[in-house]
Structure 1
Amino acid sequence: MFTESDYVIIAQEALKKYDLGITELVYLGKSDSVTFRVNSSHENSGYLLKLHYSDSANRTKDVIESELHWLEALSNDTDLIVPAPVRNGDHELITVISYGTEESLNVTCYRWVDGEVLDREPTVQEVSKLALLMSALHQHSMQWEIPEGFVRPVYHVESLMSSLAQLHKQISSGLLTDEQFTLLESTARRITEVIGQQPLTPEHWGIIHSDLHESNYVFHHQDPRPIDFSACGYGFYLFDIAETFLHLLPDNRKAFISAYKQHHQLPADYVNLLESYFIWAILRNFAFLSVNPLEHEDLSRTIPYVIGHYCQKYLNGEPFLLN
């Protein structure tokens, strides 16, 4: 098991592979990767260094590299400010650092994205700009020719059912009752019917950020900038919007739709689709958090709320998303 000191040594070794001038490492934290800010004599804004310690199927070298290919394309093809990857001295997107006897880590470097995370509900104007940002991401995805060997998670029926299976495990832990799980399962089954009816065409489906919430975008001079593309993958564009809606109040959801519709035609049943994907995004989040016992106390309060305010209304055909 690596310690924080080990990660610092690995990061310092990785920096030797990049031409960043004189650098200073600032440890940021550990989640699905270990992150450092790199202050450089070559760049005022600095860089972000990630050490990918996870060996899960979604964090293999080809999966990480595919994320970087999309970020590189977004940086080259659009005016969006994104965490553009920095290639090492061998022109590679990933630097592999060996440590210890047989251990090795994949390390990636990105340009730092300046901006501030909002600690409040965004204004209508900010939400409208956020919608235009997502519109630009989707527009690029619709036109981008995905390179050969591109491997990213797929957000479709199998992903939803995987989340449901993870939640089923929590009955034995006491986090969920049988009755609560039955309601979540009925909701998920209804959502799978909706998912199965949607066309996988470029107008509806492509590479999405899939996690553009208030911690994954920053504002710089009133303009939003997306960060942390580690969950990007194949999905419905409306699912991308629904994920962002988890963190917006109903009036701001309306403002978001109004701005987004200026550039993209939405299907006639878009409200029903968004409500389906909205609950799907919640179930995905519940499944992710349920792995950590420290989250169970909050989940034990949130799950009944979601069932009462969203799932039961959804099953009864009562609209809830924009109310």
Structure 2
Amino acid sequence: MTASNLATGLDAIAPLASLAALRYDPALQGQLRLLSHSENATYVLYNARRRSVMRVHRQAYHSYQEIVSELWWLAALREEGLQVPNAIAGLDGQLIQQVELAGLGRRYVVLFDWIEGSEPAPQGLDASFRRLGAINARLHEQARRWRQPEGFTRMTWNHASMLGAQGHWGKWQAAPYLAEPDRALIGEVVGLLGQRLAEYGQGAGRFGLIHADLRLANLLVQGEQTRIIDFDDCGLGWYLHDLAAALSFFEHHVELPQWIDNWLQGYCSRLSLGDEDLAMLPTLIMQRRLQLLAWTGTHRGTPQVESLGRDWVAQTLGLCRRYLDDGLRDVMSHGGH
């Protein structure tokens, strides 16, 4: 996705979103305003009385059954008392709508109740990461004991699907600002990551259903209430990938060890982690950074990628060198858990 086809894509999506709005109760219908456009296009659908959030799915990213499975998990989490998005049925009683217009293709659409709250403030991030860790533990507790319905299917987030030739987010080799020596460096790191993750394994205590993108941006806080949003990437992965995802785009930050320590404090207030789990954190963090690097290649030219710029790629290469030198051991420099 480049800057030019981003605009073209939005031009194509807007009429489909307008058509989808007509599939719902007239009390919900109104104006549409774009909230974000990355893997999907997300709109607020609003009128004088009510707001809802419409997600227009990217083509060929999730199957119908994968979206159904996401909604199954959200319903199960709500039964546990977690505050997560609630899908709204259309006039036909279906939670997933399919819209199509000649020349614009076909899209799946889901409408969710509006969730009040705001992203945690940049001040006081220690407390925010503790909150995030504790919430992540609640998700993992539920996922481990939940009996998934027959037909449940979601993406798998393993080494091959993140950094392999058929990675869900594209090839890291296509990322911007990389020279051939840079690709050689990253390739060496990718090989070592794969080796260490294969040794760690995918046992039931380490690998299962995860949010996969639970960053602070996907928390909405209102007073003492914390709501979790954006389960679009949920799937099967290493449980501690959720910690790596919490640090997305800031893996190079000087305060990273402190953020990790606070996340772990929150998480370990509910679930315990073994030494082998903790030892794997630098590897999972490095893998996530390179997964994001692959994402910049498929989103080249978009505002999100352009805002990162050359410096972010240079910082990524610095992390790669540190990983080869000492395994990023300094990210675990704070207290034990």
Tell me, in whole angstroms, the C-alpha distance in 1 between the residues paired with 2:104 and 2:269: 54
Deviation per CA, 1:12-49: give whole Å up to 9, x if none: 4333433362532231243322222123677x5x3211
In structure 1, the residue matched to 2:40 is 33
Match for residue 265 of structure 2 among 232, 255, 258: 258
CA contact (8 A) 1:86 1:93 kept: yes
In structure 1, the residue matched to 2:239 is 237
Structure 2 residue ranges without an equivalent (≥5): none
Structure with larger RCO (C-alpha < 8 A, sep 6+): 2
Whichever residue aligns with residue 292 of structure 1, its letter is H
In structure 2, the residue matched to 1:89 is 91
User: Matched residues, percent identical?
Assistant: 21
CA contact (8 A) 2:143 2:210 kept: yes
Whichever residue aligns with residue 55 of structure 1, its letter is Q
Tell me, in whole angstroms, the C-alpha distance in 1 between the residues paired with 2:174 and 2:145: 41
Once superposed, what is the RMSD of the aligned Cα atoms?
Answer: 2.7
Helix, strand or coil at the partner of 1:230: coil
Distance change (3 Å), C-alpha of 1:87 and 1:150: same
The answer to whether 1:280 aligns with 2:287 is yes
Whichever residue aligns with residue 27 of structure 2, its letter is G
Match for residue 18 of structure 1 among 18, 24, 29: 24
CA contact (8 A) 1:81 1:113 kept: no
Distance change (3 Å), C-alpha of 1:250 and 1:193: same
CA contact (8 A) 2:170 2:295 kept: no
CA contact (8 A) 1:49 1:107 kept: yes
Query: TM-score scaled by structure 2?
Result: 0.83
CA contact (8 A) 1:242 1:278 kept: yes
Helix, strand or coil at the partner of 2:208: strand
Range that drifts further, 185-194 or 272-281: 185-194
Whichever residue aligns with residue 48 of structure 1, its letter is V
Helix, strand or coil at the partner of 2:54: strand
In structure 2, the residue matched to 1:291 is 298
Moved over 6 A (4+): none
The answer to whether 1:316 aligns with 2:319 is no
Task: Please state how far the C-alpha of 1:119 moved relative to its aligned partner.
Answer: 4.9
Distance change (3 Å), C-alpha of 1:102 and 1:280: closer
User: What number of residue pairs does the alignment pair up?
Assistant: 314
Helix, strand or coil at the partner of 2:183: helix
Tell me, in whole angstroms, the C-alpha distance in 2 between the residues paired with 1:102 and 1:11: 11
Structure 1 residue ranges without an equivalent (≥5): none
Whichever residue aligns with residue 227 of structure 1, its letter is I
Task: Please state how far the C-alpha of 1:278 moved relative to its aligned partner.
Answer: 0.2
Distance change (3 Å), C-alpha of 1:207 and 1:22: closer
CA contact (8 A) 2:85 2:229 kept: yes
In structure 2, the residue matched to 1:55 is 59
Helix, strand or coil at the partner of 1:59: coil
Tell me, in whole angstroms, the C-alpha distance in 2 between the residues paired with 1:316 and 1:187: 11
CA contact (8 A) 2:12 2:104 kept: no
Distance change (3 Å), C-alpha of 1:20 and 1:253: farther
Query: TM-score scaled by structure 1?
Result: 0.86
Whichever residue aligns with residue 242 of structure 1, its letter is A
Range that drifts further, 241-250 or 183-192: 241-250
In structure 2, the residue matched to 1:74 is 77
